[in-house]
């Protein structure tokens, strides 16, 4: 039996040995940039005429990897192959599937710095952010491996005389796994291994902004002993590939993490019953957020300012859990704003390969333009720029960490998800008003409250309508097994990734009742003969 689950520790890069190991990994990855990678369907590696390139956001002249554009025919073939493979993979024992995940976790530990170095280049994560992403991927493997063993043990049922009853969990079938680029290893790995360990098969379509790290993970799956066809690797456009896989009548479920707009579109398409389909497709969706940190008038302002800035600007604010709104009581508004601005101005923006860099480029040109437009919009609607506001797109897609004060409730940047390093600061009349502002959004993913008053914290527990609420700490940094993650309203289906309920989303329960003492004549005759 495996030991009790423990979260993977983060790497201390102040240790020279660890720092040198990361520098070596970065050098190794740099020597492999620009390589071409195939589609993988079953045991076949496929190249197509159409190509797409993954670009380094911090140096948009640098190609990280070249990938194939799958056709509709290939996307259909991937689902058919996954369906065929499911007929045997579903019969693999839970313990064998768990062992696969434990071997995979071991390989990820061995290549921890290398996997992080790929993310440093492909999505401009800092050393610490990339290391945290890899650690979370390891956690998902270890946690879900243990979880499937728990699900494999029949749960207790109410006993009645004359019957033996049990409930067992069975896999669903073929899953379309559509992960985001912002946690290109952790979330992609988490949804994939949750599918695999529960006995399902997968068509994995990574984000076109982060396909290289997904392919490197796929190679580790193969090295860990995953049979061909259990996971099929598919790159291409959403319209050309994603829609085909979602719509296919043999696709049983869709696991998606990404924007609200795409998530709703997937949910709508999955709800249609296509010819030959004999089930209602299940959708597991984690979408956007417009997350707020409330700072009450009795809060420790230094702690609150540090938490707000870390949550707002970690990985350039490109987290669905990021603090994009700081709602501050009027009594402490100005001193709190000053502390936030001071800490924001200390953030070092630069090349993510530099260990001293704490913030780097945003993901692509479209995001760069959109974020800058929001900064302009925030000021045009009456916001006051107190930090940042600048950008440089000449070599990479760099946007300064930006704080806009005096933002009014219901203003554009107070309501719409920006997904970039922009913090809207709103003044609240009191704690009641702060809670009202925080809840007045279509989203409900994460939130935090800084206050020394237990009564206020208890009100937040009851009334702050988010899936992940944090008290006197930042609203980012959920740990597998510690903070099951998922949100309310337009933030998704509250799937609670990294929690004890998560694997149930990839399983269906079957109840089996057996009448005690009942045998057929043939069975009785056979028993007598023996």
DSSP one-letter string for 469-487? EEESS-S----TTTS-B--
* Angle, helix 112-122 to helix 16-30, in steps of 10 degrees: 60
SS3 of 442-468: CEECEEEEECCCHHHHHHHHHHCCCCE
Catalytic residue among 122, 147, 320, 323: 320
Q: Are 397 and 386 in contact (CB under 8 A)?
A: no
Residue 119 to residue 216: CA distance in whole angstroms: 11
Task: Show Cβ contacts of residue 116 under 8 Å, excluding neighbours closer than 6 positions.
Answer: 22, 25, 125, 127, 130, 131, 133, 134
Angle CA 394–399–401, to nearest 5: 155
Work out the number of other CB atoms within 10 angstroms of the CB of residue 90. Answer: 15
Q: Is 520 exposed, middle or buried (0-12, 13-18, 19+ CB in 10 A)?
A: exposed
Q: Helix/strand/coil (H, E, C) string of 367-397?
A: HHHHHHHHHHHHHHCCCEEEECCCEECCCCC
**Whether 320 is catalytic:** yes
At residue 444's C-alpha, the angle toward residues 438 and 446, to 5°, is 80
CB half-sphere exposure, 309, CA atoms < 13 A: 26
Point out the catalytic residue in the list 129, 136, 286, 414. 286
How far is residue 116's CA from residue 136's CA, in Å, rounded to a whole number? Answer: 11
CA distances from 82 to 203, 250, 276 (A): 7, 9, 17
Mode of pairing for the β-strands spanning 507-515 and 163-171: antiparallel
Three-state SS annotation for 324-349: EEEEEEHHHHHHHHHHHHHHHHCCCE
What does the chain come to in residues? 530
Longest alpha-carbon distance in the chain:
92
Cα distances (Å, whole numbers) of residue 261 to 7, 257, 288, 372: 33, 11, 9, 20
Active site residue 286: yes
Question: The tokens of 126 are what?
Answer: 């800092």
By the 10 Å C-beta count (0-12 exposed, 13-18 middle, 19+ buried), 511 is classed as exposed
Q: Which of 422, 421, 413 is nearest to 359 (CA)?
A: 421
Token pair 């800084």 in the structure block, residue: 450
Report, as residue numbers or ranges, the catalytic residues. Answer: 286, 320
């Amino acid at each position: 039996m495996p030991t009790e689950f423990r979260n993977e520790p983060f790497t201390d890069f102040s240790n020279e040995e660890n720092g040198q190991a990361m520098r070596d990994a970065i050098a190794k990855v740099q020597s492999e940039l620009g390589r071409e990678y195939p589609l993988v369907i079953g045991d076949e590696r496929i190249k197509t005429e159409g190509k797409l390139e993954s670009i380094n956001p911090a140096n948009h002249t640098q190609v990280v990897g070249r990938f194939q554009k799958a056709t509709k025919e290939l996307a259909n073939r991937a689902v058919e192959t996954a369906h065929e493979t499911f007929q045997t993979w579903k019969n693999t024992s839970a313990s064998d599937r768990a062992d696969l995940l434990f071997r995979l976790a071991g390989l990820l530990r061995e290549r921890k710095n290398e996997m992080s170095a790929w993310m440093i280049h492909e999505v401009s994560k800092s050393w610490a952010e990339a290391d945290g992403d890899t650690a979370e991927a390891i956690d998902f493997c270890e946690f879900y491996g243990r979880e499937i063993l728990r699900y494999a043990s029949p749960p207790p049922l109410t006993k009645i005389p004359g019957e033996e009853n049990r409930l067992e969990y069975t896999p669903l079938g073929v899953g379309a796994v559509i992960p985001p680029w912002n946690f290109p290893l952790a979330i992609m790995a988490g949804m994939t291994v949750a599918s695999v360990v529960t006995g399902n098969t997968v068509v994995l379509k990574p984000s076109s902004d982060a396909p290289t790290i997904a392919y490197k993970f796929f190679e580790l799956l193969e090295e860990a002993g995953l049979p061909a066809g259990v996971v099929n690797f598919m790159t291409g456009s959403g319209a050309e590939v994603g829609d085909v896989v979602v719509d296919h009548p043999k696709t049983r479920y869709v696991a998606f993490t990404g924007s609200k707009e795409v998530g709703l579109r997937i949910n709508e398409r999955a709800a249609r019953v296509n010819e030959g389909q004999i089930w209602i497709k299940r959708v597991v969706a984690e979408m956007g957020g417009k997350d707020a940190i409330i700072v009450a008038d009795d809060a420790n302002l230094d702690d609150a300012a540090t938490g707000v800035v870390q949550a707002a600007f970690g990985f350039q604010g490109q987290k669905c859990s990021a603090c994009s709104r700081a709602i501050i009581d009027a009594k402490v508004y100005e001193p709190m704003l000053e502390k936030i601005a001071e800490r924001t101005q200390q953030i070092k923006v630069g090349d993510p390969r530099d260990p001293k860099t704490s913030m780097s480029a945003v993901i692509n040109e479209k995001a760069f333009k959109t974020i800058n437009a929001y900064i302009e919009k925030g000021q045009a609607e009456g916001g006051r720029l107190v930090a940042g506001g600048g950008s440089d797109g000449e070599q990479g897609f760099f946007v300064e960490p930006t704080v806009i004060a005096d933002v009014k409730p219901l203003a554009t940047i107070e309501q719409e998800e920006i997904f970039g390093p922009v913090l809207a600061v709103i003044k609240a009349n009191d704690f009641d008003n702060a809670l009202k502002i925080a809840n007045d959004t279509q989203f409900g993913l994460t939130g935090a409250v800084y206050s020394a008053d237990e009564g206020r914290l208890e009100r937040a527990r009851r009334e702050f309508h988010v899936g992940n609420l944090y008290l006197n700490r930042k609203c980012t940094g959920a740990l597998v097994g510690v903070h099951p993650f998922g949100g309310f309203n337009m933030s998704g289906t509250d799937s609670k990734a990294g929690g004890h309920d998560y694997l149930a989303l990839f399983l269906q329960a079957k109840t089996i009742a057996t009448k005690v003492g009942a045998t057929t004549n043939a069975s009785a005759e056979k028993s007598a003969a023996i």
